[in-house]
Amino acid sequence: MSGAPKLQSLPEAAPPGALPQHVAIIMDGNRRWAEARGLPVALGHKAGAEAVRRTIQACAEQGIGWLTLFAFSSENWLRPPEEVTALTGLLRLYLRSEVATFAREGIRLRVIGDRARFGVETMREIDRAEAVTAGGTRLNVNVALSYGARDEILAAARAVAEAARAGTLDPASLDETAFAARLFTAGMPDPDLIIRTSGEQRLSNFLLWQAAYAEFVFQEVLWPDYGAEHLARALRDYGRRERRFGARPG
């Protein structure tokens, strides 16, 4: 039918042993790591920030092109106020301390999510970090902050509805590519591999649209203990799989 929406073409099946272009990680376990050691939760988050440094470096060394880290969900605002304050303070400190290293090593940093909820000071640090690292081509790092996939999809749907109402979009012409262009991840490849730490096995409202054909690896390690060896293990697991994107096996 001439007026039917076009479907996004799927990538060709990836051969076993291929390296993922885009790795996304649900960083889970900071609180449990701290509680197991009798430490304040804030120190668990601080140790988690060190794991972020190690993982970014490991991805750059492995030749990964894209890394998305789920750092703060839209639901995390419901945590105790003192924990939220500690998290946002750690975020600002991290941005200030790491931006020069990122720029020097060719790492581009971007934030996806509702950054406005963090306030003017944090937004200023985010904007500065994105601007300073904008020329990086070695590794693209996306940090999901105040992010929820359902909110993201709803916002994209509202944008489509507004465009249709304004007469700038024919709903019959809407396809997956046009819809994806209205998501926070517009212009980015979908994740090939999604890793979740701490033994939990759920998406928790993370990249629901983008994860349609992702491979999943669930690891028992708590996030503050994560390092290059854990990433390498996940990549080996991924490399043993043959991705067919819904096609029937040959």
Alpha-carbon gap, residue 163 to 250, rounded angstroms:
42
| Domains of the chain in sequence order | 22-148+190-239 (3.40.1180.10)
- Residue 30 labelled as part of a binding site: yes
pLDDT of residue 75: 86
Name the percent of the chain in helix, strand, coil, to the closest 5: 45, 15, 40
pLDDT of residue 247: 63
pLDDT at 246 over 90: no
For 249, residues 6+ apart whose C-beta sits below 8 A from its C-beta are: none
Q: Which residue has the higher pLDDT, 152 or 15?
A: 152
pLDDT (tens digit per residue) in 39-98: 999 999 999 999 999 999 999 999 999 999 999 888 888 888 888 888 888 888 888 889
Question: How high is the mean pLDDT of the chain?
Answer: 90
pTM tops 0.85, yes or no = yes
Choosing from 76, 151, 175, 225, which is the catalytic residue? Answer: 76
- Residue 104 labelled as part of a binding site: no
DSSP category for residue 79: S
Sheet strands side by side (includes 22-26): 107-112, 139-147, 66-73, 22-26, 193-196, 215-218
Which ranges of 63-142 would DSSP assign to H, the alpha helix?
Answer: 81-104, 120-132
Task: Note if 140 is an active site residue.
Answer: no
Task: Note if 28 is an active site residue.
Answer: yes
